[in-house]
Amino acid sequence: MLGTAQGVRIGITGLGVHVPDKVLTNAELAEIVETSDEWIRERTGIRERRIAADDEALTDIALPAARAALEDAGVDAADIDFLVCATVTPDMMFPTSSALLADTLGMPNAAAYDLLAGCTGFVYAIAQAYGMLASGLSRRALVIGGDVLSKILDWEDRSTLVLFGDGAGAVVMEPVDRGGFLGFELGADGGGGEYLWYPGSGSRHFENPESFVKMNGREVFKFATRVMVSSASEILAECGKTVDDVDVYVPHQANKRIIDYAVAKLGIPPEKTIVNVDRFGNTSSGSIPLALADARADGRLHDGALVLLTGMGAGLTWGSALVEWTNGRPS
């Protein structure tokens, strides 16, 4: 799916993030499975990640991020009429985490649902919010992306354990006077779903189900390096932009080697690329908003900055968004 924004300008007016307090370093992981700090950093670029406490669920880490986004936008929770939460680790299948969050935040008039698109979830979710807002079905939206993948990892499986961390981010989206989203490119390949899957987690029964994430790292790496480049290239071309026009590149933080490949292939200068996988690992749907928060903290999200977002993940799914950043509330 590929398309450019039409008519009403829709932008991000508030941003908030939150990660658990617990830091798990590579050295600490080496006490759990056969690995080392050097081995992990060389293959992934990760040196530490955040891990949710035993009594922390998704909504516990998403709630502070949502509140921060609302405060940043200067918006009352009751004024949100659409809430979508991108996650593969909800508190439970139902009631949805989005409904629980809407109730806790005080959004009695909001439509609320969870969205499952793997690590691409946040990009899918902002595209859906854009569509709701641009069509006039919604006036103001809250998009949350977050996961607590530590809850569904096999803590004896080095191939997945070293990669993932927990975290959440949220944005407020609404009509703006200038800038805003220029277009989206989204896609999925269920034929590659066998390379990153969560057996025993739904209505498809397995003979000996193991409720842990399974991954074919080699195949996922090949997929990621391909779609991170193709998706970004397609949305730039569709919007009449080039790599030279991009001010800030925010890729999904899956693996530093994947990011380095995409940057080199696209021709985006490393200094325009946001990388925080070293501090957080792969936080799935929380990855891009966490990176956006770092970009803003560094002063890169100035008015008019052209920001390219690209994600990929389980499904297999991928997606890109191009947005002209605007600071401040609409007049």
- What positions carry a catalytic annotation? 119, 252, 282
Amino acid letter, 179: G
248-251 and 317-324: which strand pairing? unpaired
| 321 phi and psi angles, rounded to 5 deg | -140, 145
What tokens appear for 170 in the block? 């949220």
Q: Is the dihedral of CA 177, 138, 77, 165 positive or negative?
A: negative
| Residue 103 to residue 84: CA distance in whole angstroms | 13
| Residue 15 to residue 139: CA distance in whole angstroms | 17
**Residues 149/91, Cβ–Cβ less than 8 Å:** no
Question: How far is residue 308 from each of residues 120, 124, 299, 319, 330, measured CA to CA in Å?
Answer: 14, 14, 16, 11, 22
**Residues 284/313, Cβ–Cβ less than 8 Å:** yes
Q: What angle do CA 295, 297, 68 make, to 5 degrees?
A: 100
